[in-house]
Structure 1
């Protein structure tokens, strides 16, 4: 087993890959307190702005006679803004009509890849259909200049501009918990490529999520003291951008230039061994069905660490929508149909909420 210390350190203090651990932000505490005392939301959380959320910036807090939680969140897709560190951030929110907002509801945060957007992720990966069937809410945040800062050297303009994307996602989840009865035990994050890098950064630096679904990605930067978290990783064995065997991929530039990209991650076998050590897991069991191989480990308190590889897949979201233009420009293969990554991730999330008392 790869020692956990092999993935620690390597980032300067204050950098995205080496920041002090932030366990519970003020946004999340506010949301949790609201849930504990049974406060309800009021109108005013319309598409296009969150600055007027009730109970913030000196505005009156909601009262017991306010409308039921989530009633001001429109069904279907809506667009919103959120101010974080003096920067206006944007996200899309999908609330299916099937979501029961009279009780705690699961939340999935879906992080797009480099060059993507929240809207693109909503259209490409099938999460709205899965949410319709599962009755959960999905947030699709936007990275600055279509990228995320996941370590001190990756990726792109967010790193150059010193963007704190961990703070953005913390604020986003806290805001949604203020707005509707989001279940802290069933709050999850998933992402592809650069978005997957940020998903792992969130797992390393916060205790925000019960489980992570990482696709076509790796760990960038150190991971000093992660809290236990269930992890499902989906990876194509033909991926040349985030190689299964680790090391820099074909888009790595050493973290230099106008758009720094340094993705020198560990072999996936070692990364999964790290999470098994964090989660106190048993030895993994492996099974293969055609091009799909699963390595699954059961862990303490009902958690799990699972790696799914697809032999004929490259840098992609298996089962996602094909984008011929992007595939041609970037030299990518159409998504494999051997696996529906979205259905697999939601299956995993459903089975692995945060353990009681954790």
Structure 2
């Protein structure tokens, strides 16, 4: 019998009451003490965990399934420490990192304006396991990245109040695939925001979830029309990348059926076509199509370097993807 990865065995459940309590009030810190990027962890005083998360960026570690996992948290300096805050989990793409995602997609500035926390987790060897054939070493090793993200959210909530109705996940490419996986395998997130990605692997019984998906019609890595992209290798070898997914409009139709949405309203502004459907309990499912755009995050500089340029196309100036996703998140808290 094949040993399936944890995401394939996961059973959907209601958010545990103990986690809700942690999210609202904080509790015991289950990760290492926070440290500034490049610095050493502060020594605990009198054996107690340091209070709160510092303003700005702090770095943290968790041990999940015997693996040391790392992530960053950005806290705006003006964010109140007493009221529960929204949390956005930003998932980097293949060959990326939490640090790279933080510098590439404008979420810190959006958090300053919108008043929310941002978490930037790191995939093992710069990739995420989202299906048996994708992606890279985490897929080959059956890494439970869904479990890691859930543990990370709980750890953040143990240090600062987090609003359980306003926890969101977003990502690009392989990170967007993990955002879809989180929508399939958990009930933790009020909404997910996906850029240049698709759903891979089984998703037989997802709960109704708000979804916004941004995609370029000229994306050759994750084709808008579905099927394998230019880096697909059928899930073979040391770096498996079976990226063949459904056509993006069909995928969005599936999430609309799950959420019981009404007919979509379509609007066009230059190269951008927005198809937005309203769903029961305040949910929504929106597809933003960017004509002529490739594999990229619209309106943000993206990562630098030759490797990044080989993976990603120039960003479309037709819209600011970060602002669009956050506006959607803000309008769609959990019921």
Q: Same fold (TM over 0.5)?
A: yes
Q: How does 1:204-353 map to 2 (within 5 A)?
A: 204-323=184-303, 325-326=305-306, 329-330=309-310, 332-353=312-333
Match of 1:8 in 2: none
Report if aligned partners of 1:187, 1:208 keep a CA contact under 8 Å in 2.
Answer: yes
Q: Judging changes above 3 Å, is the alpha-carbon distance between structure 1 residues 327 and 334 closer, same or farther for their aligned structure 2 residues?
A: farther
Q: Judging changes above 3 Å, is the alpha-carbon distance between structure 1 residues 121 and 328 closer, same or farther for their aligned structure 2 residues?
A: closer
**1:80-123 CA-partner distances (Å, limit 9, x unpaired):** 11111111000111000121121110000000000000000000
Q: Judging changes above 3 Å, is the alpha-carbon distance between structure 1 residues 105 and 320 closer, same or farther for their aligned structure 2 residues?
A: same
Match of 2:8 in 1: 18
**Cα distance in structure 2, aligned partners of 1:344 and 1:106:** 16
Q: Judging changes above 3 Å, is the alpha-carbon distance between structure 1 residues 331 and 231 closer, same or farther for their aligned structure 2 residues?
A: closer
Match of 1:199 in 2: 179
Report if aligned partners of 1:90, 1:141 keep a CA contact under 8 Å in 2.
Answer: yes
Structure 1 residue runs of 5 or longer lacking an equivalent are 1-11
Structure 2 residue runs of 5 or longer lacking an equivalent are none
Aligned residues: 328
Match of 2:21 in 1: 33
| Deviation of 1:15 (Å) | 2.7
Residues 1:47 and 2:35 are matched in the alignment: yes
| Deviation of 1:330 (Å) | 1.1
**Cα distance in structure 1, aligned partners of 2:308 and 2:155:** 38
Q: Secondary structure at the match of 1:138?
A: strand
| Deviation of 1:326 (Å) | 3.4
Give RMSD over aligned pairs: 2.6
| Deviation of 1:269 (Å) | 1.1
**Given the two structures, how large is their TM-score scaled by the length of structure 1?**
0.85
| Deviation of 1:196 (Å) | 0.5
| Deviation of 1:16 (Å) | 5.1
Q: State which of 144, 148, 151 in structure 2 corresponds to 1:171.
A: 151
**Cα distance in structure 2, aligned partners of 1:295 and 1:329:** 30
Match of 1:128 in 2: 108
Report if aligned partners of 1:220, 1:265 keep a CA contact under 8 Å in 2.
Answer: yes
